[in-house]
Chain A
Amino acid sequence: MIKTDILIIGAGPTGLFAVFEAGLLQLKCHLIDALPQAGGQCAEIYPKKPIYDIPGFPEVLAGELVDNLKEQIKAFQPGFTLGERAETIEKQEDGSFIVTTNKGTKHHAPIVAIAGGLGSFEPRKPLLENLTKFEDNGVSYMIKDPEVYRDKKVIIAGGGDSALDWSIFLADVAAEVTLVHRRNEFRGALDSVEKVQQLKNQGKINLITPAEIVGLRGENILEAVEIRKTGEEELITLEVDNFIALFGLSPKLGPIADWGLEIEKNAIKVNNTLDYQTNISGIYAIGDVNTYPGKLKLILCGFHEATLMCQSAYQKIYPEKKYVMKYTTVGGVTGFDGTKKEAPKAVVKAID
């Protein structure tokens, strides 16, 4: 069981900055994120795109902002459970919470701050009949263990980096690799595109474009797929053991929607702009995931919300303590790792 003071669900900019504000109050944080890396949308969707409305940064790339935030909070030694989705929450008798991920990792904290953005990123699934029937029976949306495909006949669909990269990788592992994409053009790193071209020329990758998988065949497990080439009536039936659909990720609110929180417009309603607490005492919602009158889904608003949430969390954890907010310029920043940053002291000395 992982124990912490504030359990943050979502490691995007808002969640990351919450670690800093909590750290100033000597509260420890642990973050859970469904993606394998921290940064949320900034890292997953648009790391190379500029942002112009972060105060003090005339221009910053989303990926850089995440790197800076990670650097800023490093001294507060946040814990991370990455690549796992927060699934269930159980309120304990003492008012604390146990949050369990889809992989069974348990986290215990008196405060839960949901900084889940638009939700957890889930693979986008093609619209095919029988799709659910074949999930885990030949159809998958991500590759966890490439060995599963050793000596198998594999078909991959998609036109982005992951479709290209896995086609290349599996060309040496699988018995047969077919790559299907709706266009002739692929969007990916130049090396990957060239490598696939090379493997195609060598006959190691069977490329079918422009085409789409339109049907799945099989008794209980996947046995074949039906492919339609654009503009052609007749379908191609191809025997395969595995179909890997790599169509990118899209965010879904997911299991959080079933935690008994008030939901409005796909966001968690917070009763106030005082501390962003939800209808369940001890659970807060900050950043893009919450809604309240006047809400703006901006990173800078998320930072503000994270800051107020931490003050409220502190009062909840230590109801008897009095606290006065201190500027970092005055108090410095004392990390849990023993580091201390502080403003240089002025010299008081007479000049003869």
Chain B
Amino acid sequence: MSDIKIKITDREGVLHEVDAPTDMNMNLMEIVRSYELAPEGTIGICGGMAMCASCQCYVISNHKLPEMSDDEDAMLAEAFNVEDNSRLGCQLHMTPELDGLEVELAPES
């Protein structure tokens, strides 16, 4: 067992504190889907290829995050409601370093 705690504010503004496994090759988008914090069909539409931005979130805590890939960067350049702290949830893999991560889901667009 190697779970970390993550705080996710959903699109309705409700805060959820969830356990996320680090040993199951999961990313933040999949964590959100597994807890059904956003309706199916409104998040992770492209399945996690950094090609739709439906899993965009704002990172609130000061964690050191992995560098953005060119794909993620380009996708965020075209997405809406993008802020400086925007990331694609599907590109954030659950690692022990992300324990305590706080994020907010961006509005559906």
Contact = CB atoms under 8 A, between A and B. Distances in A.
Interface in B54-109: 54, 74, 77-78, 80-82, 109
A158 interface: yes
A181 B82 CA distance: 13
Contacts of A187: 74, 77-78
A127 B109 contact: yes
List 6 A-B pairs, minimum CB-CB distance, nearest first. A266-B41, A265-B40, A187-B74, A183-B77, A159-B77, A182-B77
A124 interface: yes
Contacts of B49: 45-46, 49
B4 interface: no
A241 to B, nearest CB: 24
Interface of B: 39-42, 45-46, 49, 51-52, 54, 74, 77-78, 80-82, 109
A126 B51 contact: no
Given A46-B51, A265-B40, A265-B41, 5 more contacts: A45-B46, A45-B49, A118-B41, A250-B54, A250-B109
B40 A267 contact: yes
A118 B39 CA distance: 13
B76 to A, nearest CB: 9
29 contacts: A41-B46, A45-B49, A45-B51, A45-B52, A46-B51, A118-B41, A118-B45, A124-B109, A126-B80, A127-B80, A127-B81, A158-B78, A181-B77, A182-B78, A182-B82, A183-B77, A187-B74, A187-B78, A247-B80, A248-B78, A250-B45, A251-B45, A253-B41, A265-B39, A265-B41, A266-B39, A266-B41, A267-B41, A291-B40
A160 interface: yes
Contacts of A342: none
Contact of B42 (A46, A182, A247, A266): A266
Interface string A31-48: 000000000010001100
Interface of A: 41, 45-46, 49, 118, 124, 126-127, 158-160, 181-183, 185, 187, 247-248, 250-251, 253, 265-267, 291
Contacts of A118: 41, 45
Say whether chain A's binding surface is mostly helix, strand, loop, or mixed. loop
Contacts of A126: 80
Contact of A159 (B40, B45, B51, B74): B74
B78 A46 contact: no
Nearest to B107: A127
A185 B54 CA distance: 22
A183 B109 CA distance: 20
Contacts of B82: 182
Contacts of B39: 265-266
Contact of B52 (A158, A182, A250): A250
Nearest to A291: B40
A160 B78 contact: yes
Nearest to A288: B41
A83 B82 CA distance: 30
Nearest to A295: B40
A183 to B, nearest CB: 4
Contacts of B41: 118, 253, 265-267
Contact of A46 (B46, B74, B80, B81): B46
A223 B80 CA distance: 24
B67 to A, nearest CB: 16
Given A45-B51, A250-B52, A266-B40, A159 B78 contact: yes
A212 to B, nearest CB: 10
Nearest to A160: B78
A185 B46 contact: no
- The winner among B39, B41, B49, B82 for most chain A CB atoms within 10 A is B41
A231 to B, nearest CB: 11
B84 to A, nearest CB: 11
Nearest to A124: B109
